[in-house]
Structure 1
Amino acid sequence: MEKYTVVIPAAGQGKRMNAGMNKQFICMDHIPLLIHTLRVFEEDLLCRSIVLVVNPDERNAVAELLQDYNIRKVGKLVRGGKERQQSVYEGLKAMEEGGIVLVHDGARPFIDHSIIHKLVRTAGTKGAATVATRVKDTIKQVEAGQVKATVDRSCLWAVQTPQAFRHTELLEAHRKAEIEGFEATDDASIIEFVGAPVYIVEGDYENIKITTPEDIVFGEAIISNRKEEQG
């Protein structure tokens, strides 16, 4: 199977965490969140290298973490932009052109290798793919506090990361988005913006993004459960 490079944006401050610092440094099971995420790719034989996008003020602190936890695959520490989209774009520009690139949130530490590999295969054959899960809840369309419609959830998916692309195509899509002022919350939307298809790879519900203090509790529970399963 084709190998990949992963761009991990980790420059944001995570304001919803209310931690007074970059949430990437918050610990779960006594290990920083960012290290949990990086270890997933450090241990994946298909991962060629990691491009880590960081706040320039935190570059030295991140470099120390990489050394302390023996993370070897981070080939580049790239200066992040004001928004996530800009950070990913900077990471893409820092890569060698060609091959499959994944974009993954630094705050999603529970992605599984088997799902990553399905994603890489799909991107290799179809061009662009994202991990997603089926929506379980009933979804209401609401205006001014009033329910206007119940949305058919059978066609709704909650999108996660990683998302996988051909590097040259994603880089060109980002260039076009920058020129035309298109803003997106994920990279799949940027590919959609230029008119290319994006395919779904079904993920699992443990692949949560650590965003709020409550998520830390859920994350600790996932870690505990996985330790029990491993014996």
Structure 2
Amino acid sequence: MYGSNAKIDYYYIVAAAGIGKRMGLSYPKQFLEVDGKPIFIKTLEVIEKNHRVTGIVVVTNKEYIYEVEKMCKTFKITKLIEVVSGGNERQDSIYNALQKIPKDSIIGVQDGVRPFIEDRYIEDSYTVLMERTDLDGVVIGVPVKDTIKVMDSDGKIAQTPKRDFLFAAQTPQVFRGEILHRSYEIARKQKFLGTDDSSLVEKAGGSVGTLAGSYKNIKITTPEDLLIFSKENIKGVKNK
């Protein structure tokens, strides 16, 4: 099936179930408005416009499902399939969303608060998986610029890995549907909590490649991250 000229359905899961604690907000950070739009909507708009994407599943806090549905309608996110409830961990949230997407597809997972997603990430990930049957997934990311130190339990430096082989993973992370589903099921049975989607696929024996992202493709997590935007375009956070 993969590697042929046949078009495979391409779905995206957008994780928008965070909270605004580190941002100093009284509401989830994905609802922070930039340029008159919630951050997660800016993310969704890029995915919506890609001609390959078949459908989108958004996962959010249970109490905000209706609000997210309403926002998607307002901003004309027409490829939305469903808004589902998140879980205790991000991994639980993605698992819930996966139940809405068929296994015989390509599935991308994207952070809702990573609004600098580019169309090329979506397009190139799909193309690579269609062409390279040796890969089960592709992760967007960038080479690490800082020197990384590995500490021991006493806080002492135990190791300095060679920077040439260090890669900062971002999203989207895109996988063949069958192995992504299987990886999540295995992790669930083994009670394994990974740091990202790729770590689950890797643990299940999958082969994951990389694609060059951008240092601008940041995840909005703290007030400092908002410096990438013009102050006058941000609504809801006090500028310090």
State TM-score, norm by structure 2.
0.87
Matched, 1:130 2:139: yes
Correspondence 1:39-50 to 2 at 5 A: 39-50=45-56
For 1:67, the equivalent position in structure 2 comes to 73
Secondary structure at the counterpart of residue 187 of structure 2? helix
1:186: Cα distance to partner?
Answer: 0.7
Secondary structure at the counterpart of residue 75 of structure 1? strand
Matched, 1:58 2:64: yes
For 1:33, the equivalent position in structure 2 comes to 39
Deviations 1:40-86 (A, max 9, x none): 11111111110111112001111221122121111111111111001
Q: Distance in 2 between matches of 1:211 and 1:219?
A: 13
Correspondence 1:1-231 to 2 at 5 A: 2-124=8-130, 125=132, 126-143=135-152, 144-220=154-230
Counting matched residue pairs gives: 223
Gap regions ≥5 residues in structure 1: 224-231
1:145: Cα distance to partner?
Answer: 4.7
Name whichever structure is richer in helix by fraction.
Answer: 1
The AA in structure 1 aligned to 2:176 is R
Secondary structure at the counterpart of residue 132 of structure 1? strand
Q: Distance in 1 between matches of 2:178 and 2:159?
A: 41
State TM-score, norm by structure 1.
0.90
Report if aligned partners of 2:95, 2:184 keep a CA contact under 8 Å in 1: yes
Q: Distance in 2 between matches of 1:29 and 1:214?
A: 18
1:220: Cα distance to partner?
Answer: 3.9
Gap regions ≥5 residues in structure 2: 1-6, 234-240
Deviations 1:167-205 (A, max 9, x none): 111001101110011101211000011111111111111
Q: Distance in 2 between matches of 1:160 and 1:128?
A: 13
